[in-house]
Amino acid sequence: RVLRRRQRLSHLSSLEDALNLLKTSKNIIVLSGAGISTSCGIPDFRSSTGLYAQLQDEGKYELDDPQQMFDIHYFRERPEVFYSFAKQIYPSNFVPSPCHRWIKLLEDKGLLLRNYTQNIDTLESLAGVEKVLQCHGSFKTASCLRCKNRVPGQTIEPFIMSQHIPYCPRCQEEVAQKQQKKDQLKRSKGKGKARWDEDGEEEEEEDIWGGGEPGIMKPDITFFGQALDSEFDECLFKDREEVDLLVIIGTSLKVAPVSEVLTHIPHSVPQIYINLTPVHHVKPDICLLGDADSIVTDLSSRLGWTIPSPAAVPQP
């Protein structure tokens, strides 16, 4: 099947082919990564100047491997390391790049089936893209590791900015109540009155003290070792039946399951890869290598499309 596909699509190779595909496609999936935000001032991960190289060089976070910064097991052990660093990647006043605005342009033209982004900077939404799936989550919400209580991201923003660990407000409330009951129990034991629980059993101290600390709040970004939200599979299952062009922009395609989108859509769907550096473990039909902003701007001008200017982007 792959061989047949390769023969059928082997004629595709150049900019001209990319232009023809963009002219004729109606249901485009854009799969994007950190490379579409580097021009906004947000480093990517694996380039020589990327976040992982910076973490390695800085060496101040005692990480065996820079990816540990985003590993759920390491986070559970040493949350203070992530919270000493998180303010560096917290979305603040970044402006969407021409790539983000190009994705919005596809949507405005009714050509975008969905943007599967690996980025957590929410710049797609800031550019006004509605059909965006944040495969690796974002800082928009945060959840308690212990009781799963979910809060708006703003709740933990002060902790991120001040580099402190945010604890779960609901767990803290519960711990305070249990402490209060424990103190009352102690006092009542002192006066010979045992406390009785609902079925008349004398309530032992440990019954009250559910024990444990309040849970730690973690931004709802997908760490290594965590499953993606089920929405990813649901969307892909639906979209694979409709997609007629896959455009991959600014990603090394090193992280599954997002990198496996290429193999989960029908082999007959052409794939255009726009990236600074080539990719070797997969074979997109058309590779346009260079700066992504410049490439999408050039493609648009050749198609007579106009990428909306930053000013035209609706502000939140």
- Supply φ then ψ for residue 217, to 5 degrees: -85, 135
Alpha-carbon dihedral 156, 160, 161, 165, rounded to 10 degrees: 100
Instruction: Select which of 136, 164, 264, 280 is catalytic.
Output: 136
Q: Around 260, how many Cα atoms within 13 Å sit in the side-chain half-sphere?
A: 7
Among 255, 261, 262, 269, binds ligand APR (CB under 6 A): 255
Instruction: Compute the least distance from the CB of residue 205 to ligand APR, in Å.
Output: 45
Q: Token pair of 132, please?
A: 């965006």
Kindly state the DSSP code that residue 65 receives in the 8-state scheme: S
Task: Calculate the alpha carbon distances from 43 to 26, 40, 243, 250 in Å.
Answer: 32, 9, 30, 12
Our answer to whether residue 136 is catalytic in this structure is yes
Helix (H) or strand (E) holding 21: helix 15-24
Strands 137-144 and 132-134: unpaired
Using CA atoms, how far apart are residues 98 and 233, in angstroms rounded to an integer? 28
Residue 115 makes contact with ligand APR by CB under 6 A: no
* Cβ proximity to ligand APR, 101 vs 136, nearer residue: 136
Q: How far is the CB of 181 from ligand APR (least distance, A)?
A: 43
Q: How far is the CB of 8 from ligand APR (least distance, A)?
A: 27
Residue 283 structure tokens: 């074979």
Question: How many residues touch ligand APR (CB under 6 A)?
Answer: 22
For the bound state, the minimum distance from the C-beta of residue 47 to ligand APR, rounded and expressed in Å, comes to: 5
50 near ligand APR, judged by CB under 6 A: yes
Q: Does 44 bind ligand APR (CB under 6 A)?
A: yes
66 near ligand APR, rule: CB under 6 A? no
Asked if residue 135 belongs to a known ligand binding site, the reply is no
Catalytic residue annotation: 136
Binding-site residues for Zn(2+):
144, 147, 168, 171
